[in-house]
Amino acid sequence: MKGSEAVVTENLTKVYGGKIRAVENVSITVHPGEAFGFLGPNGAGKTTTVSMLTAGLRPTQGSAIVNGLDVEKFPDEVKRQIGVIFQESTADGDLSGLENIEVAAGCFGIARSEGRARAKALIDQMQLTEAANRLAKTYSGGMRRRLELAVGLVNEPRILFLDEPTLGLDPQGRAGFWGFVQKLRKETGVTVFVTTHYLDEADGMCDRIAIIDHGTIVASGTPGELKDKLGGDVVTLKTASSSMDLTAVLRPLPGVSSVQRQDGTYRVKCASGERLVPLAVDACSKAGALINGVIVKRPSLDEVFLEFTGREFREEEGPTATDQAVQGLRIRGALRGRR
């Protein structure tokens, strides 16, 4: 039932300026308590979707129900029941960690003494006790993200929206951040909706995933289901010659389900990579082609992305669309209107 789900969207659509179709007919359901990953490359429409779900942006078409509430009809109520970590850092560098959380508590109308108590507890929970009274501008990237997580939790939300929460953190910082989120899920059962570029992260962290590309959902399911759709291993073969086409040599080999060629490189889907490699090398050499590189991959979400979009999932250089759009956001501004 719609009302008991954490998030239900139907044909959610956002068109900027009448022509940029940033999000197109997105229909998803997020169950209470689950971690739902929203994956896509730069400009795919992740932040736009999160902004609509968190009542920061009005949909052009379609609907979004969050915690049983229509975001267009009850934006303030939705904001009171959720926590958000924005893609761009929102911590106010000129306030201490504690003060950042206290200000956020004030924005929710939480009484001063209660706000102070929650701030203290959250600072401890995020292991920022030592740095509690230091200005946030002296925090490392990972500490800042943990502080922003604390800020997002100050109203004890039922759903947490995290927009690229670990972008720019080193692997240790990423793992640390996710450790806190996992612990929180276990302790409070909070629903987590997270956008990320990191496929491996979504694979390990999320119960279910939707992949968005050019504003449209191209695949969704559990990480296991998505990988199963690939049906086996992927063997990439590189040959010295890009003029000879080996598709007809590789396709009939046992266990092969498809062959994709790009110049001298072949992406072969097969039941077992280990069994295929010697057969493929032998068959190619008989056909007069030298194999000078072999990669065997168990299916990962990278392959899922490639499969459904035809492109590699690669981060682009430079600031992203959203980075530019939301530059300069600070905690007070970000939380304005939440009272």
Binding-site member from 25, 27, 29, 42 for ligand ATP (CB under 6 A): 42
Give yes or no for residue 37 binding ligand ATP (CB under 6 A): no
Give yes or no for residue 314 binding ligand ATP (CB under 6 A): no
Q: In the structure encoding, which two tokens stand for residue 21, read together?
A: 């179709």
Binding-site member from 13, 30, 40, 301 for ligand ATP (CB under 6 A): 40
Output 50 or 82, the one with its CB closest to Mg ion: 50
Binding-site member from 15, 175, 287, 321 for ligand ATP (CB under 6 A): 321
Binding string, 145-184, against ligand ATP, x = CB under 6 A?
Answer: ----------------------------------------
Phi, psi of 220 (to 5 degrees): -155, 155
Nearest distance in Å: CB 280, ligand ATP = 37
> Is the alpha carbon torsion for 261, 266, 271, 275 positive or negative?
positive
- Return d(Cα 321, Cα 337) in angstroms, integer: 24
Range list of β-strands (E), 116-158: none
User: In a 3-state reduction of DSSP, which class is residue 224?
Assistant: helix
**Partner whose footprint covers residue 44, from ligand ATP, Mg ion, none (CB < 5 to 8 Å by kind):** ligand ATP
Give yes or no for residue 322 binding Mg ion (CB under 5 A): yes
Binding string, 127-146, against Mg ion, x = CB under 5 A?
Answer: --------------------
Q: What is the CA radius of gyration of the chain?
A: 23
* Edge-to-edge strand list for the sheet holding 256-262: 256-262, 265-270, 233-239, 291-297
Q: Which residues in the 66-105 window bind Mg ion by CB under 5 A?
A: 87
**Partner whose footprint covers residue 22, from ligand ATP, Mg ion, none (CB < 5 to 8 Å by kind):** ligand ATP
User: Mind spelling out the 3-state secondary structure of 14-62?
Assistant: EEECCCEEEEEEECCEECCCCEEEEECCCCCCHHHHHHHHCCCCCCCEE
Give yes or no for residue 320 binding ligand ATP (CB under 6 A): yes
Give yes or no for residue 47 binding Mg ion (CB under 5 A): yes
β-bridge mates for residue 13, sequence order? 61
Q: Are 17 and 170 in contact (CB under 8 A)?
A: no
Q: Are 276 and 235 in contact (CB under 8 A)?
A: yes
Residue with tokens 């991959």: 297
Binding-site member from 7, 12, 35, 44 for ligand ATP (CB under 6 A): 44
Binding string, 240-259, against ligand ATP, x = CB under 6 A?
Answer: --------------------
Q: Are 284 and 256 in contact (CB under 8 A)?
A: no
Choices 186-194, 254-262, 292-300, 321-329; region in contact with ligand ATP by CB under 6 A: 321-329
Output 46 or 269, the one with its CB closest to Mg ion: 46
**Partner whose footprint covers residue 40, from ligand ATP, Mg ion, none (CB < 5 to 8 Å by kind):** ligand ATP
Give yes or no for residue 49 binding Mg ion (CB under 5 A): no
Residues in Cβ contact with 279 at an 8 Å cutoff, skipping those fewer than 6 apart: 253, 254
- Return d(Cα 193, Cα 46) in angstroms, integer: 11
Q: Which residues bind ligand ATP (CB under 6 A)?
A: 16-17, 20, 22, 40, 42-48, 87, 320-322, 325
